[in-house]
Amino acid sequence: MNRRISASILAADFCRLGAELARVSNADLIHFDVMDGHFVPNISFGLPVIEAVSRCTEVPLDVHLMIEQPERYLDAFAAVQPEIITVHYEAVVHLQSTLRRIRELGCKAGVSLNPHTPLEGLRYVLDDLDLILIMTVNPGFGGQQFIPAMLGKIRDCRELISGRPIEIQVDGGVSLENISRLAEAGATNFVAGSAIFQAPDPAAYISQMRSA
């Protein structure tokens, strides 16, 4: 599977979002961290921002819902036609039907696991999944430090999916410094916020992430 880079706009300058998007136009995906102040201790942005962004970029959208009861909002987020909608394992009671609904809405279905959440719960929904997001920090804030123990979890995840065409995405503290180790462990899709937007040339940084 080709390596894909998802630029997290949480680290962008929201005063000049249009210009920020232009700086990352070579990304494979634009990543949106939607936070509700309940599932995570932070509040970020919601649908109006994603809608606005969808009108001024050609890059496919990657929506990461860090919210409780995400199933209540699937139709609303799917209306902006993101490529991927990811829900948190810990926030969903009926995971299989939630994933099925995401696909029915025409999007790829992702599940995210907090660092302490075991992979085992995904075993029986692997055929309902397009992407597994291994959180490499505790979700809620950008700019945190990557948790090294997640390398082993990525390896275990690669084994669990045993050849299925499922992307393994990592999110949190990802940079040029650790991307090779993450890729070696089995990750194929890399979310980065701070590292990309703090780089002097974000587009060049994204290219380097792809080839590092």
Which residues are at the interface with ligand DX5 (CB under 6 A)? 8, 10-11, 31, 33, 64, 137, 139-144, 171-174, 191-195
Q: Which does residue 148 touch among ligand DX5, Zn ion, none (CB within 5 to 8 A, set by kind)?
A: none
Please say if 171 is a catalytic residue: yes
With helix as H, strand as E and coil as C, how does 58-91 read? CCCEEEEEECCCHHHHHHHHHCCCCCEEEEEHHH
Q: How far is the CB of 127 from ligand DX5 (least distance, A)?
A: 26
Q: Among Zn ion, ligand DX5, none, what binds residue 25 when CB lies within 5 to 8 Å by partner kind?
A: none
DSSP annotation of 101 reads: H
Euclidean distance between CA atoms 128 and 20, whole angstroms: 34
- Distances 3 to 72, 95, 137, 145, 212 between C-alpha atoms, Å: 32, 27, 20, 22, 10
The β-bridge partners of 63 are 32, 85
Q: Tell me which residue of 144, 146, 192, 140 sits closest to 24, measured CA to CA.
A: 192
Catalytic residue, candidates 36, 62, 171, 201: 171
Question: Any contact of residue 88 with Zn ion (CB under 5 A)?
Answer: no
Least separation in angstroms between CB 29 and Zn ion: 11
Q: Which lies closer to ligand DX5 via its Cβ, residue 88 or residue 108?
A: 88
> Is 13 annotated as catalytic?
no
Task: Write the DSSP symbol of residue 146.
Answer: P
Residue with tokens 């700019």: 143
Do residues 115 and 151 lie in contact, with contact meaning Cβ atoms separated by under 8 Å?
Answer: no
Burial class of residue 208 in the structure, from the number of CB atoms within 10 Å of its CB (0-12 exposed, 13-18 middle, 19+ buried) = middle
Applying CB under 5 A, which of residues 4, 23, 64, 88 lies at the interface with Zn ion?
A: 64
Least Å distance, CB 193 to ligand DX5, is 3
The nearer residue to Zn ion, 64 or 101, going by C-beta atoms, is 64
Least gap, CB of 134 to ligand DX5 (angstroms): 11
Question: Which of ligand DX5, Zn ion, none lies near 193, with the C-beta cut-off 5 to 8 A by kind?
Answer: ligand DX5
Tell me which of 13, 28, 33, 36 is the catalytic residue.
33
Q: Decide whether 74 or 199 has the Cβ nearer to ligand DX5.
A: 199
Determine if 171 is a binding residue for Zn ion (CB under 5 A). Answer: yes
Question: For ligand DX5, which is the closer residue by CB, 139 or 186?
Answer: 139
Catalytic residues, by residue number, are 33, 171
